[in-house]
Amino acid sequence: MLIGQVDSVRTYITEIRDGPGTQNAFDMFKEATGEESLLSAIKDKAAETRIAPVNARVDRVWKAIPGYNGLEIDVEATYRKALGGMLNTKIPYVYRQVEPEIQLKDLGAHPIYRGNASKPMVSFMINVAWGNEFLVPMLDTLDAEKVKATFFLDGSWLSKNAELAKEIQKRGHELSNHAYSHPDMSRLSAERARLEISKTQELLQQTLGVKNRWFAPPSGDFNQKTVDIAASMGLQTVLWTVDTVDWRKPSPDSVIAKISNKTEAGSLILMHPTASSAGALKGMIDSIHAKGLSLGTVSETLSSERVQGHTVE
């Protein structure tokens, strides 16, 4: 009888260690010698499968890079779930994310060019200061593909196109700050630079009820003073990893090829509402998905939250 119990426990521990993420834990528990064996096996599995979090850091080339949450089995919650399970009911492990000790916000005032390379997500950054005729077609494509992007709005454009901005917002996209009059930020006095950012910040709040998080310098022109001023206003300065250069009117096929070749996990992809990007958008999305990458907003891509691949509670 004792030999039979030991064999059952060995079988149980082997299955819970080596089996898939979903175990019939309750059935195996009934065959084991007691609750302690079940708890011990869950702890063993948790130690074997834990994925450590990745800290945010300042890279010599890419500057501020966000961290990425780790993942581990919640031993207590899984144990409770196993004890409360029904016979022949599969009980999934309960996972929880583990935040890194150092987050993006802890790094200080640095520009951001990309997300964490461990996170299989990328973002479209769509800077809007002109090109109204292409906006709705692009929104329609994004809707059809169930993709959300981040639109950086020029304040002077927003002041004249509030209804179109509300349409972007209605479609569920993220809206953020692209200064007011599309200046070269590095050439401005501190007072003028602050005014460029604050006017658009106020417009986003007053017109759309948006408290924006990100500042995208027009034409990618900035200096450390720009980053410091934006940070003092609660905004992080974000640029891009891959540029469509769509203002040069490349063919849609060449844009798709560029995105397919250069996009990788964490990429921020810059575009504008142009004929080139409107024509290439569906192909860009397809090429990104073909690489196994998800598409999210800038906030989603730069957060430390994991892209869901496991059952997480």
pLDDT of residue 4: 36
pLDDT of residue 35: 66
- The answer to whether 196 touches 156, Cβ cutoff 8 Å, is no
Neighbouring residues of 50: CB distance < 8 A, sequence distance ≥ 6:
70, 71, 72, 73
Q: How confident is the model at residue 5 (pLDDT cuts 50, 70, 90)?
A: very low
Interatomic CA distance for residues 252 and 244, integer angstroms: 10
Backbone φ, ψ for residue 282 (5° rounding): -60, -45
Q: How confident is the model at residue 16 (pLDDT cuts 50, 70, 90)?
A: very low
Interatomic CA distance for residues 148 and 174, integer angstroms: 8
CATH topology classification for 107-302: TIM Barrel (3.20.20)
Q: How confident is the model at residue 90 (pLDDT cuts 50, 70, 90)?
A: low
Interatomic CA distance for residues 174 and 203, integer angstroms: 15
pLDDT at 310 over 80: no
pLDDT at 12 over 50: no
Q: How confident is the model at residue 91 (pLDDT cuts 50, 70, 90)?
A: low
- The answer to whether 123 touches 148, Cβ cutoff 8 Å, is no
pLDDT of residue 29: 46
- The answer to whether 248 touches 270, Cβ cutoff 8 Å, is no
Neighbouring residues of 21: CB distance < 8 A, sequence distance ≥ 6:
92, 93, 310, 311
Q: Which of 68-77, 85-94, 194-203, 286-295 has the lowest mean pLDDT?
A: 85-94
pLDDT at 18 over 50: no
Mean pLDDT of 103-120: 97
The domain spans of the chain are 15-49+68-101, 107-302
Taking Cα atoms as reference points, which of 221, 271, 267, 269 lies closest to residue 249?
Answer: 271
- Of 24 and 69, more confident: 69
* CB count in 10 Å sphere of residue 209: 9
2 by DSSP, 3-state: which?
A: helix
Mean pLDDT of 295-308: 97
Mean pLDDT of 166-172: 98
Mean pLDDT of 202-224: 97
pLDDT at 299 over 50: yes
pLDDT of residue 92: 73
pLDDT at 312 over 50: no
Mean pLDDT of 95-102: 97
pLDDT of residue 30: 47
Interatomic CA distance for residues 241 and 266, integer angstroms: 8
Map 166-200 to HEC letters: HHHHHCCCEEEECCCCCCCHHHCCHHHHHHHHHHH
- The answer to whether 172 touches 208, Cβ cutoff 8 Å, is no
Q: Which of 81-90, 104-113, 155-164, 289-298 has the lowest mean pLDDT?
A: 81-90
Which residues face 237 on adjacent strands?
215
For the chain, the average pLDDT equals 89
- The answer to whether 302 touches 66, Cβ cutoff 8 Å, is yes
Taking Cα atoms as reference points, which of 295, 4, 280, 272 lies closest to residue 123?
Answer: 295
Q: What percent of the chain has pLDDT over 70?
A: 85
pLDDT at 27 over 80: no
B/e letters for 273-287, b = 16+ CB within 10 Å, e = fewer, are bbebbbbbbebbbeb
pLDDT of residue 37: 80
Mean pLDDT of 143-148: 98
pLDDT at 114 over 50: yes
The one-letter amino acid at 219: S
